[in-house]
Amino acid sequence: MITNSTTAGIDNDLAIRIDGAAPWSPETIAALAALCDRAEDHGGPGIVTVQVSGTPDDSWSRAMSVPLVNKWERAVRRLERLSMTTVAVAAGDCGGPALDVLLATDYRIAAPTVRLMVPVADGVTWPGMAVYRLAQQAGIARVRRAVLFGIAVEADEALGLHLVDQLAEDPLVVLAQSPELLATLSRPELAIRRQLMFDAATTSFEDALGSHLAACDRQLRRATTGALS
């Protein structure tokens, strides 16, 4: 399970709980956007924590529309591109909004009960951007059954595919009580590495070189001034 209590080392102002059992909604979009606002205003260092669990039932898609889905996907993309490190803590079945958000984070700690599920609507799996992220992060062959047939990715399999990074009985407590992990995740330079990694999938060597050289120059300057994080 994921605890509800305030836990040392976690900034509650930079934390949100996403209930995957609740369909995508304007309220959920607004809450995620507000979290991104706070993170952007904060500026770091630190981490943004999202607690995710739940998956929608078979009737969830009846209230959906393409404009609403578009707004949600843009909010998740904004989370994915924050200048702060993002961490997901997950438990139980995670589908719908919960899966979307988990796949957009930098580091993921899950309970052994976790199951990643592409939600099903009217007998077929939902073709949202979770499909894109699953295929990008784990490979098409490894997520084929989940994407095509809605077969759950169990905890051990998710760990093996690196869709989650760590399994723990209480993910949030483990995160908060691991000062070395918190210190590593809080480094502001991680966001630059994330963007370089994302760009590598679609950018030629020649086009990418300038960005990597700029990042190297930044690191060398930080080393010279003793400001390494």
* Per-residue pLDDT tens over the stretch 4-31: 334 545 688 899 999 999 888 999 999 9
Residues 112 and 21 grouped into a single domain: yes
Does residue 163 share a domain with residue 122?
Answer: yes
Question: How many structural domains comprise the chain?
Answer: 2
Q: What is the CA radius of gyration of the chain?
A: 18
Q: Name the E strands within 63-212.
A: 85-95, 107-110, 115-117, 120-121, 124-125, 153-154, 166-167
Given this model, what pLDDT does residue 9 score?
57
Q: Note the Cα 223 to chain centre separation in Å.
A: 30
Q: What is the CATH number of the domain that holds 150?
A: 3.90.226.10
CA 189 to chain centre: 18
pLDDT, position 209: 92
Query: Against a cut of 0.85, is the pTM above it?
Result: yes
Among candidates 128, 122, 136, which has minimal Cα distance to 96?
Answer: 128
104 is a domain residue:
yes
Least confident of 18-27, 126-135, 182-191: 182-191
Amino acid of residue 25: S
Residue 48 lies in a domain: yes
**What pLDDT does 226 receive?**
64
User: Is residue 154 domain-shared with residue 199, that is, in the same domain?
Assistant: no
Q: What is the pLDDT of residue 7?
A: 52
In this structure, the answer to whether residues 121 and 196 fall within a common structural domain is no
Q: Is residue 2 part of a domain?
A: no
The pLDDT mean for the chain works out to: 89
Domain around 196: 190-225
At residue 46, the pLDDT reads 83
For residue 179, being part of any structural domain is answered with yes
In a domain, 64, yes or no: yes
Q: In this structure, is residue 3 part of a structural domain?
A: no
Indicate if 109 and 170 belong to the same structural domain. yes
DSSP 83: S
* Beta-strand relationship, 153-154 and 115-117: antiparallel
Do 66 and 137 lie in one domain? The reply is: yes
